[in-house]
Amino acid sequence: MDFLTNMDWVLPLRHEALTVIFNIFTWMGYTPFFLIAIPAIYWGWRKDVGHRLALIVFASAVLNAFLKDYWQNPRPDVLYALDGRVGGSYGMPSGHAQIGVVMWFWLAYEVRQQWEAKWAYWAAGFIAVGIVLSRLYLGVHDIEDVLMGSVLGVLSLVVFYALLSPMGDRWRSLSWPIQVSAVLLALVALVYVWPKAEGAGEAASIAGFLLGWVLGALLEQNYLRFEPARLMLVRLAAVVLGVVSVFWVFGEVRSVADGLGSSDWIYLISGSIVAFYISFGAPLLMVVTRLARRIESR
Each residue's pLDDT tens digit, 172-209: 888 989 999 999 999 999 988 999 878 888 889 999 99
CA angle 171, 156, 167 (to 5 degrees): 30
DSSP for residue 193: T
Distance, CA of 127 to CA of 143 (rounded, Å): 18
Distance, CA of 107 to CA of 100 (rounded, Å): 11
Distance, CA of 159 to CA of 139 (rounded, Å): 31
pLDDT interval class at 114 (50, 70, 90): confident
85-106 pLDDT, tens digit each: 887 888 899 999 999 999 999 9
pLDDT interval class at 214 (50, 70, 90): very high
24-38 pLDDT, tens digit each: 999 999 999 999 999
Percent of the chain topping pLDDT 70: 99
148 and 91 Cβ atoms separated by less than 8 Å: no
What mean pLDDT do residues 241-260 have?
92
Q: DSSP characters for 20-39?
A: HHHHHHHHTTSHHHHHHHHH
Q: DSSP characters for 50-98?
A: HHHHHHHHHHHHHHHHHHHHHH-PPPSPGGG---TT-TT---SS-HHHH
Q: How many Cα atoms occupy the beta-carbon half-sphere of 111 within 13 Å? A: 15
What CA–CA distances, in Å, run from 259 to 188, 230, 270?
Answer: 22, 42, 12
Cβ neighbours, 10 Å, residue 6: 12
56 and 106 Cβ atoms separated by less than 8 Å: yes
DSSP for residue 5: T
What mean pLDDT do residues 60-84 have?
90
Please list, in sequence order, all residues whose beta carbon lies within 8 angstroms of the beta carbon of residue 103, skipping any fewer than 6 positions away: 37, 53, 56, 57
Which domains does the chain carry? 13-170 (1.20.144.10), 174-298 (no CATH)
Claim: this prediction has a pTM higher than 0.85:
yes
3-state class (DSSP) for residue 195: coil
Distance, CA of 92 to CA of 141 (rounded, Å): 8
Q: How many Cα atoms occupy the beta-carbon half-sphere of 225 within 13 Å? A: 7
3-state class (DSSP) for residue 185: helix
The pLDDT assigned to 86 comes to 84
Amino acid at 183: V
Distance, CA of 62 to CA of 58 (rounded, Å): 6
